[in-house]
Amino acid sequence: MRVADGWKDYELLDTSDGQRLERWKDITLIRPDPQVIWSTPKKHVGWRGANATYLRSSSGGGHWEVRRRMPDVWQVAYGDLLFNIKPMGFKHTGLFPEQAVNWDWMRKAIEGAGRPIKVLNLFAYTGGATLACAAAGASVCHVDASKGMVAWARENAAASHLADRSIRWLVDDCIKFVAREARRGNRYDAIIMDPPSYGRGPGGEVWKLPEQLHTLLTSCREILVEHPLFFVLNSYTTGLSPSVMGYMLSALLGNTFGGEVHADEIGLPVTASGLVLPCGATAVWSDKSCPSL
């Protein structure tokens, strides 16, 4: 497992009974996590003194129960990157801290490329990967179907002093955008994607990952340059294993461009237990010039 252990402003304090106890700088939150199927003593003081807890509803969704005063929005830093954090629906905060392990690797790959790198970030959410690539000197095309998420990403870029970097901010359906880029003849040195299990585009387009992922990956292959740098595929979809993701990248990219494929879980260290909580999966195709994973 690849572990995101470089955080100072974020800490996974403890896990138990389907919940994770987290510190986001000075704010402590309790959020549900389906991976936490164990029950261990909740000895950490944060369990009793958290600022807010996300409570699921039996009818679906849920709400935040605020117990101690907290700001509506605050910032956490990861190195030179700053992110605006705010509790929102479906337990989210606007950031997946385990992705830092991918940000670090992508920055090294871009900085060591020795040439200008053009990156396409699909399903780009609030821009963690966009900011990391831009900070490394790449030009980035950031695409997400949610206008609100793209606005949030731009705010993160401004907070990180990256607003003047070469970043295109687009609210668009990712499948349609990739098809248009192919027709235009636009090509990218690197592609990142973090597709949801299910979603809708800005025009009501329906996305179902099991049915459409292979088609999208095939389309993305057509907009890579002759000698691409990397392709990063993230997933939080239950049942889509790292091995399957790795096989897909090997078949679609390895046979065309050579290079190497690495697939594994990514996770966060748990302070109370010393264990690592699996938080998702990443498959990476990379040119042999890239840093090892």
Answer yes or no: do 75 and 165 share one domain. Answer: no
Which pLDDT value is given to residue 244? 94
Answer yes or no: do 101 and 173 share one domain. Answer: yes
> pTM for this one?
0.94
Domain count, the chain: 2
Answer yes or no: do 155 and 272 share one domain. Answer: yes
Which pLDDT value is given to residue 210? 72
Our measurement of the distance from residue 143's CA atom to the centroid of its chain's CA atoms, rounded to an integer in Å, reads 13
Answer yes or no: do 10 and 75 share one domain. Answer: yes
Which pLDDT value is given to residue 209? 73
The Cα–Cα gap between 266 and 211 comes to 24
Which pLDDT value is given to residue 90? 84
Answer yes or no: do 146 and 271 share one domain. Answer: yes
Answer yes or no: do 38 and 110 share one domain. Answer: no
On whether residue 272 sits in a domain, the answer given is yes
On whether residue 201 sits in a domain, the answer given is yes
Instruction: Using the 3D structure, point to which of 36, 51, 83 is the last residue of a domain.
Output: 83
Bridge pairing between strands 118-122 and 190-193: parallel
- Residue 6, domain CATH: 2.60.40.1180
Q: List, for the chain, all residue ranges whose pLDDT scores fall below the cut of 50.
A: none
Answer yes or no: do 186 and 247 share one domain. Answer: yes
- Identify which of 165, 189, 186 has the alpha carbon closest to the alpha carbon of residue 257: 189
Domain around 19: 1-83
Which pLDDT value is given to residue 40? 95
On whether residue 45 sits in a domain, the answer given is yes
Answer yes or no: do 115 and 187 share one domain. Answer: yes
